[in-house]
């Protein structure tokens, strides 16, 4: 499986020089202040996350170097962290980063069918970004919402209790820039028992 966060090499994709936004400088200062003086390196995960969010969902070489400068770390140490966690993308991703859970509970409830729907609507194979840059499609392991399987994460949102129809509608609405329903698609609160038909 090609996952933008699992390709163990930083993209050669050229991007503008990465510079923290003013808003993020304040956020970073607050995070670093949570750690004892001189231990700012411990903040590397949240700071990488901020860098990824500022950089449209992926970590460029410039962004990683800026994180290293900010935390007084060697670049290789920051690279080691960024290449270890699959949540960090080392290549550009589309506007909607689709992560389909493929672990057993979701698989038993039809995640394969959801993958087929996603391929059809986005035109992407696994690990690819669509030509219109609206979607990147990957499979991931359990996202911790097994009670509401099958589920998919798109950017920061979970979509649960999916079937082919509801997932197809969600993707089409995202494609057209329309509103989508988050969470359970059958109206469950959290992971309460499903209502009997």
Which residues are near ligand FES by CB under 6 A? 101, 103, 105-106, 142-146, 149, 151
Peptide bond into 11 cis (omega under 30): no
**Residue number, 10 or 142, with CB nearest to ligand FES:** 142
**Residue number, 18 or 107, with CB nearest to ligand FES:** 107
Burial class (CB in 10 A: 0-12, 13-18, 19+), 33: exposed
Minimum CB separation of residue 191 from ligand FES in Å reads 11
CB 164 within 8 A of CB 120: no
CB 47 within 8 A of CB 70: yes
Minimum CB separation of residue 160 from ligand FES in Å reads 9
- Among the listed residues 67, 70, 71, the one whose alpha carbon sits nearest the alpha carbon of residue 51: 67
**Residue number, 80 or 141, with CB nearest to ligand FES:** 141
Minimum CB separation of residue 105 from ligand FES in Å reads 4
**CA dihedral (43, 45, 46, 49) positive or negative:** positive
**Residue number, 10 or 143, with CB nearest to ligand FES:** 143
Distance of CA 72 to the CA centre of its chain: 27
Minimum CB separation of residue 146 from ligand FES in Å reads 3
**Residue number, 106 or 174, with CB nearest to ligand FES:** 106
**Residue number, 68 or 152, with CB nearest to ligand FES:** 152
Q: How far apart are CA 28 and CA 54, in angstroms?
A: 12
Minimum CB separation of residue 109 from ligand FES in Å reads 8
Minimum CB separation of residue 88 from ligand FES in Å reads 20
Burial 115-145 (b: 16+ CB within 10 A, else e): bebbeebbebebbbbbeeebbbbbbbeebeb
């Amino acid at each position: 499986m090609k996952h933008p966060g699992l390709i163990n090499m930083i993209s050669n994709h050229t991007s503008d020089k990465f510079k923290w936004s003013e808003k993020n400088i304040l956020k970073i200062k607050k995070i670093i202040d949570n750690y004892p003086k001189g231990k700012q390196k411990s903040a590397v995960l949240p700071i990488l996350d901020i860098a990824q969010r500022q950089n449209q969902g992926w970590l460029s070489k410039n962004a990683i170097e800026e994180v290293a400068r900010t935390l007084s770390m060697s670049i290789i140490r920051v690279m080691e962290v960024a290449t270890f966690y699959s949540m960090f993308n080392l290549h550009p991703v589309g506007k909607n980063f689709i992560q389909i859970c493929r672990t057993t509970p979701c698989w038993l409830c039809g995640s394969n069918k959801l993958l087929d729907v996603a391929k059809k609507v986005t035109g992407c194979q696994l690990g690819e970004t669509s030509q219109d840059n609206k979607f990147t499609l990957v499979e991931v392991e359990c996202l911790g919402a097994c009670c509401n399987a099958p589920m998919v994460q798109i950017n920061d949102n979970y979509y649960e209790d999916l079937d082919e129809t509801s997932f197809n509608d969600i993707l089409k609405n995202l494609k057209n820039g329309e509103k989508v329903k988050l969470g359970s698609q059958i109206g469950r609160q959290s992971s309460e028992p499903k209502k009997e038909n």
